[in-house]
Amino acid sequence: MEGERRLFELTRGGRFTLLSFGPAPAIGASASGLRTLHVVGQPAGPDDVADTAGHLAHAYGATERTLVLIRPDGYVALISDAGDASAVSDHLAAFS
């Protein structure tokens, strides 16, 4: 994503957003409409979010396995430090 933006701007839009601080997880089909943003040091793709100074990772205490699911209203729904994609899928299935 080009230019500086606040996390609120990146996650608005009335849908769940997943922040992935490592490799993209495989989320079940029930997660249609889920937007996944990859938090990286240097962006290479359209869904990469640059965190060059590590502020976002620090705010969530994130490692390369951390997944943060943000609800459509902007609140954090789930944080998985183990990179548990099934926990994300299960949480989203409750809203399907």
Please give the tally of structural domains in the chain: 1
CATH number at residue 79: 3.40.30.120
In a domain? residue 24? yes
In a domain? residue 2? no
Q: Find the domain containing 26 and state its range.
A: 7-93
pTM: 0.86
Per residue in 54-69, pLDDT (tens digit) is: 999 999 999 999 999 9
Instruction: Give the pLDDT of residue 66.
Output: 96
pLDDT band of residue 87 (cuts 50, 70, 90) is very high
Q: What is the mean pLDDT of residues 1-27?
A: 79
In a domain? residue 16? yes
Strands 35-40 and 17-20: what pairing?
Answer: parallel
Residue 78, beta-bridge partner list? 69
Is a pLDDT exceeding 60 seen at residue 6?
Answer: yes
Residue 90's H or E segment, with its range, is helix 85-93
The residues, ordered by sequence, that sit 6+ positions from 92 with a Cβ below 8 Å of its Cβ are 16, 27, 28, 30, 31, 34, 69
